[in-house]
Amino acid sequence: MLFNYKYKIFILFNFTFWSVMFSSSLLSQDVTVGLIQRSDFSSEVYTVIAPTASNLVYLINNCGQLVHQWDLPRTGAFGTYLRDDGMLVRVESQGTTFIAGGSAGRLSIYDWDSNTVWSKSFSEQGNFSIHHDIALLPNGNILAMLWDQIEYDEAVAAGRDSLGVSPQGVWSEMIYEIKPIGTEEAEIVWQWHAMDHIVQDINPLAHNFGAIHEHPERLDFNFDVNNDQNPDYYHFNGIDYHPDLDLIIVSCRNFSEVFILDHSTTTAEASGGTGGTLGKGGDLLYRAGNPYAYQHGLQEEKYFYGQHDPRWLMNDGDQIAAFSLYNNGIGRSDGFYSTIDEINPNFDILNATFDYDSDLGYTNARQEVVIDGSQFVHFFSARMSGAYKLENGNYMVCHANSGKIVEVDLGFNTLWHYINPVSAAGIATQGNSIGGNSVFKIESFDSSYKGFAGRDLTGGDPIELEPIPNDCIASSIHDQPAETLTYNSLWSDDLYLTSTEQINTLSIYSITGQQIETRNLRAAVNELQISVAHLPKGMYIVKVNNNQTLKCIKH
C-alpha cells in the first residue's frame, strides 16, 4: 500500500498476475507538515530530528508518530547524535564573536530523560569557536571542528594575499579530540591545525612557500581569494570517523572538497608531514571534489558543489575507504538540484596509501551519483543537509532548507516523505505553511539499535498540532518471511534461498509490478541460487511457491 496524506492511493498487489488498482479521495485539508507519504516499501526505522532553531529533539517512527522527545536547556545549532548508550551528544548555540553560517560555541551531552550529563563552552573571543559538526569516537571522546582565528599580520606573514584578509583576520580550521571530564571539564587529547598544512606562492620568505601543484598534500592559502575578505576561508561543515582505519574525513565547503586525515598521529606528528600509521603526519592523505583547488584540473572539472555530510560507508564490501555525501549543487551549470554521491578512492590497504597521479591528482576506483536529484521535483537544498545510508541500501535524505526528509531507493523511488513541523516560531498546526524549519542532518536506526535497549518505542501522536488522522499501518508486504525460509534481501550478484519446505517456483517483479522472470523448477529443491547480476539497482518483490513474498534490494 502506498500511503499519501493528500491523496489516499491504494495499490493492490495480486502476486498471481499483478494487477494494480488506484483510488483516491481528497482530504478536507492539505497536509503541509509531518508525514506526507509512506509506502509499504519504506524502512521501519526511527529517525532523530533536531530542528536547528529549537531546544527540542525528536525521535519519530516511520508513521510520523512521536516516540521520544528531549526538552533541552539550549537551542541546538547543528550536529546532534544518539550514542550507543542512549546519550544524546550535540553542538549548541551560545554567544560567540564568530558570526557566520554554522556558528555554535558549546558542546553538550544529555541522557534519555533530558538531564545534562556534561556541557562545556568551546568559544573564546578573538581566538576560537566550535562550529557545525562533530564525530563520536569509540572511546567516548568527541572530534570537533573549530574556527581558529589568524590575525591580519600573521596571515600576511604566512603568505596570504593582503587583499583577502578582513579586519577579523582569517578563520582557519582546527580539529580537537575532546575527552569530557566530570560535568563541565574537558581534556584536549589530540589536535590538528590547518595552518600547519598550507602552501602559498606569494611570500618566498615564508617557510610554506612552494608551487601549489607540487604540494597536493597541503592547502593553498590563497585559493580563489579574488579579493574576497570573508574571514571564514575554508568553512569545514561535516566530519566523520572511520574506526577500522583510524581516519578522519572532513568536508570543506568553500573548496568544494573533502579531505582525509590520519588520526593515528600524535599531536606533534599531526603538526608536520611525517609519522602516524600512513607516514604522512597531519598532511592531507587524499582529497576529492575539485582538483582545480590544488592545480590538477580545470575549474569546470569540479564535481562537488558546496557539499555536506561526508560519511564513511562502513559495510560496503571491499570498498574499505568508500564514503557518501550530500552534494548540494551550488554553482552547478545545468540547474539547481542536489545529488547523493558515493566515492571509493583508490586505496591500497596493504601499503596504506591513496593513489596519486602527478597530472590527475588523487584518483577514485568509483565515483558515482547514486541518487540523481535532477530526476525529482525539488530535490535541492542550498545549504546544510545530509544523507544517511540505511542497511538495506536506501538513503534517508535530509533537505535542510525545507526541513524535508525523504527515503529514496537506488531506483529513484521516493518511499517516505516527512516535513519537520518545528521552527523558531514553535510547532506548526497541520494545514498551515511553515518556514524556518531547517534540520542540519538526520540519522535513522532500526529497533535493534543499542541506544534503544530497554526503551519504550511505542509511537504516540504526531508532533504537529491538530494532526489529521491517517490509516498508517505496518507494511502489508512482510520484511521477514516465514521462519522456514531464509534469503539475502540485499543483492549484489546472486539471490540465495534456503527453505525447510521444497521450492517449486520463483518469480521476480519490479516495484511497479512488472514480472521480470519466473523459474518453474523441474525438480523441487531446498536450496536455490539465482544470478541477479543483470538486474539494475532498485527494489524488487520475489514470490516463492506463490505463497511467500519477499522484499529485496539490488545495490
The order of strands in the sheet holding 142-150 is 123-124, 128-136, 142-150, 170-181, 185-193
Same domain, 446 and 503: no
Q: Is residue 170 domain-shared with residue 115, that is, in the same domain?
A: yes
Q: What is the reported pLDDT for 483? A: 47
Is 139 among the domain residues? yes
As a whole number, mean pLDDT of residues 177-205 equals 97
Alpha carbon of residue 69 to chain centroid: 22
Residue 471 resides in a domain: no
Mean pLDDT to the nearest integer, 396-423: 96
Q: Give the pLDDT mean for 532-554.
A: 83
238 assigned to some structural domain: yes
Contact (Cβ atoms closer than 8 angstroms) between residue 117 and residue 185: no
b/e string for 387-410 if b means 16 or more Cβ within 10 A? bbbbebbbbbbbbbbbbbbbbbbb
Between CA 124 and CA 105 the distance in angstroms is: 9
Q: What pLDDT shows up at residue 32?
A: 96
Q: Is residue 410 part of a domain?
A: yes
Task: Please state, in angstroms and rounded to a whole number, the distance separating the CA atoms of residues 380 and 378.
Answer: 5
Q: Is residue 298 part of a domain?
A: yes
- Computed over every residue of the chain, the mean pLDDT equals 89
What pLDDT score does 227 carry?
A: 53
Does residue 509 sit in the same domain as residue 437? no
Mean pLDDT within 316-324: 85
Pairing of β 198-199 and β 219-220: parallel
231 and 377 in a common domain:
yes
435-489 pLDDT, tens digit each: 999 999 999 999 999 999 999 999 999 999 999 987 776 443 434 444 478 888 8
Confidence of residue 22 (pLDDT cuts 50, 70, 90): very low
68-107 residue pLDDT tens: 999 999 988 799 999 999 999 999 998 888 988 888 999 9
Final residue of a domain: which of 436, 452, 468? 452
The better pLDDT of the pair 327, 517 is held by 327
The answer on pLDDT for 53 being more than 60 is: yes
Looking up cell 541500501, which residue turns up?
A: 393
C-alpha–C-alpha distance, residues 423 and 339, integer Å: 26
What is the phi/psi pair of residue 292, to 5°?
A: -60, -25
- Whether 25 has a pLDDT exceeding 70, the answer reads no
Q: Does 229 lie in the same domain as 185?
A: yes
Question: What's the grid cell of residue 188?
Answer: 584536549
- Residue 64 backbone zone (phi > 0: left; psi -120 to 50: alpha; other: beta): left
Instruction: Indicate whether 14 belongs to any domain.
Output: no
Predicted confidence band at 551 (pLDDT cuts at 50, 70, 90)?
confident
| Contacts of residue 537, Cβ cutoff 8 Å, sequence gap at least 6 | 410, 411, 554, 555
Distance of alpha carbon 442 from alpha carbon 419, whole angstroms: 13
Q: What is the pLDDT of residue 29?
A: 53
> 298 and 195 in one domain?
yes
The last residue of a domain, from among 430, 452, 474: 452
**Running DSSP on this structure, what letter comes out for residue 152?**
H
- Would you state the pLDDT for residue 525? 83
Q: What is d(CA 356, CA 364) in angstroms, rounded to the nearest whole number?
A: 10
pLDDT in tens, 236-289: 999 999 999 999 999 999 999 999 999 999 999 999 999 999 999 999 999 999
Cα torsion angle, 260, 261, 262, 263, sign: negative
Same domain, 414 and 334: yes
**pLDDT surpasses 70 at 8:** no
pLDDT of res. 555: 76
| Confidence check: pLDDT of 166 > 60 | yes
Report yes or no: 464 and 51 within 8 Å, Cβ to Cβ.
Answer: no
Domain tally, the chain: 2
Name the residue range of residue 413's domain. Answer: 31-452
Cα separation, 298 vs 408, whole angstroms: 33
Same domain as 189, residue 43: yes
Query: Do 237 and 337 sit in the same domain of this protein?
Result: yes
Distance (Å, whole) CA 541 – CA 373:
25
Are 431 and 550 in the same domain?
no
CATH number for the domain harbouring residue 548: 2.60.40.10
Considering 435, 452, 469, which residue would you say is the last residue of a domain? 452
Residue 112 lies in a domain: yes
Helices and strands (DSSP H and E) totals, the chain: 2, 41
Task: Let me know if residue 18 belongs to a domain.
Answer: no
226 pLDDT exceeds 70? no
User: 438 and 289 in one domain?
Assistant: yes
- Kindly state whether residues 491 and 446 are assigned to the same domain: no
Rounded Cα–Cα distance for residues 44 and 391 (Å): 11
CATH number, domain of 106, equals 2.120.10.30
